[in-house]
Amino acid sequence: MTGMASDRYPERGRLTPAFELGPIRPPCEAFSLLIRATRNCPWNKCLFCRTYRGVKFRLRTIKEILGDIEAAKAISDALRGMADGKDYGGMLGNQLEYQACVHNVALWLRAGGRSAFLQDSNTLIMRTPELIQVIAFLRKTFPSLSRVTSYARSHTSARKTLQELQELKEAGLDRIHTGMETGYDPLLQYMQKGATAEQHIVGGNKVRESGISLCEYVMPGLGGRKMSREHALETARVLNQINPDYIRLRSLHVRYDSPLRAKLTEEDFILQTEDEVVEEIGVFIENLSVTSRIKSDHVLNLLTEIEGKLPEDKQKLLDIINTYLALPQEERLNFRLGRRVGYYERLADLQDAGRHAEMAEAIKRISLQGDDFDKVIFDLKDSFI
């Protein structure tokens, strides 16, 4: 990790800006300034997740967090100065160990410097007055920010009072990202999610009532073959009671180092094919009655064009799903492989004769080698996350 507080002031008193970066952020926060308010995950038991395995959750001190915000400001000022032709080489020169910090700030500046994301997995667990202090200092330090966002667990949102959430909104917290994953209680228990469908509803409604924008993440495929339909129907039911601003799809992939992988070996959990997951998403969308925006902005999702505003775009989304499922088997395979090696982004890309022919040739080679197509694609996805 970069930048503990003691690293910022090396010998000769010259400023060396650095700040901690956590391991993840939502895909939609790719160009946000990342400020690590807490370390790791206070729950850390979900079977499908391996991000924080082997590390303990820690609250950071206010001094540490505010120091990181100051370090980010120093880097920002240095980069702006270099762009204006000023000499900041003494500050940033030869600081290879701090590349990640500089890279994050540079991306943020290039995108306009408008958003910030508070890491790690559940910033809302901080004491409300301390989190307010962090948000207020962040906005004061970077007045260009138009959006400050964070992850939060449903369990934590449900325990906060409405007044606390409203105070966070007034301080400048604009959006909360919550990993619902599923609204089906038996599946929540199986995956050791540490939340119930009712907590999803209570927490989500509190966030919405406070005026903070809410983004709920759903994990297609999480139920496997045994619980697929219940997963789709119950998740839609719970979301219908919350009506979040955004619903983001993030399809399941069971990495080699996740606890769920052992369940596959024991055949206790049977993965769906990608086609079956697409069918499940169709059931899910068909049963939604919300005014949310659907987003499919994760690399693991097969069909990225499943995006739109409900209810007006529901039929358009279902038509995309049905168009894919109606393709001949060899065409679906061509698209699946092409999507996973980066040749295709959307279904329309199948019409590119050159790319289609290359994928057909690749399929032929894989077949001649006797390899299993599902395993080839599974292994490709292992490299994505």
Q: Which of 247, 166, 241 is nearest to 201 (CA)?
A: 241
Strand order in the sheet with 293-295: 33-36, 115-119, 147-151, 175-181, 213-218, 246-249, 293-295, 308-309
C-alpha span between 67 and 61 (Å, rounded): 10
**What confidence tier does 385 reach under pLDDT thresholds 50, 70, 90?**
low
C-alpha span between 172 and 168 (Å, rounded): 6
Least confident window among 34-43, 79-88, 167-176, 222-231: 79-88
Least confident window among 86-90, 163-167, 295-299: 86-90
C-alpha span between 366 and 368 (Å, rounded): 6
Helix axes 128-141, 162-171, angle to 10 degrees: 10
Of all residues in the chain, what percent are helix, strand and coil, respectively (each to 5)?
A: 50, 10, 40
Neighbouring residues of 194: CB distance < 8 A, sequence distance ≥ 6: 43, 45, 46, 153, 155
Where do the CATH 3.30.750.200 domains begin and end in the chain? 179-326
What is the pairing mode between strands 38-39 and 33-36?
unpaired
Q: What is the mean pLDDT of residues 94-107?
A: 76
* pLDDT tens-place string over residues 238-275: 999 999 999 999 999 998 888 998 888 777 899 999 99
C-alpha span between 379 and 348 (Å, rounded): 25
Kindly report the CATH class assigned to 179-326: alpha beta
* pLDDT tens-place string over residues 133-160: 999 999 999 999 999 999 999 999 999 9
Q: What is the mean pLDDT of residues 285-314?
A: 97
Q: Is the pTM of this model over 0.75?
A: yes
Q: What is the mean pLDDT of residues 168-180?
A: 98
Mean per-residue pLDDT of the chain: 91
* pLDDT tens-place string over residues 335-366: 999 999 999 999 999 999 999 999 999 999 99
Q: What angle do CA 189, 193, 197 make, to 5 degrees?
A: 70
Q: Which of 327, 349, 328 is nearest to 339 (CA)?
A: 349
Percent of the chain with pLDDT over 70: 91
Query: In a 3-state reduction of DSSP, which class is residue 149?
Result: strand
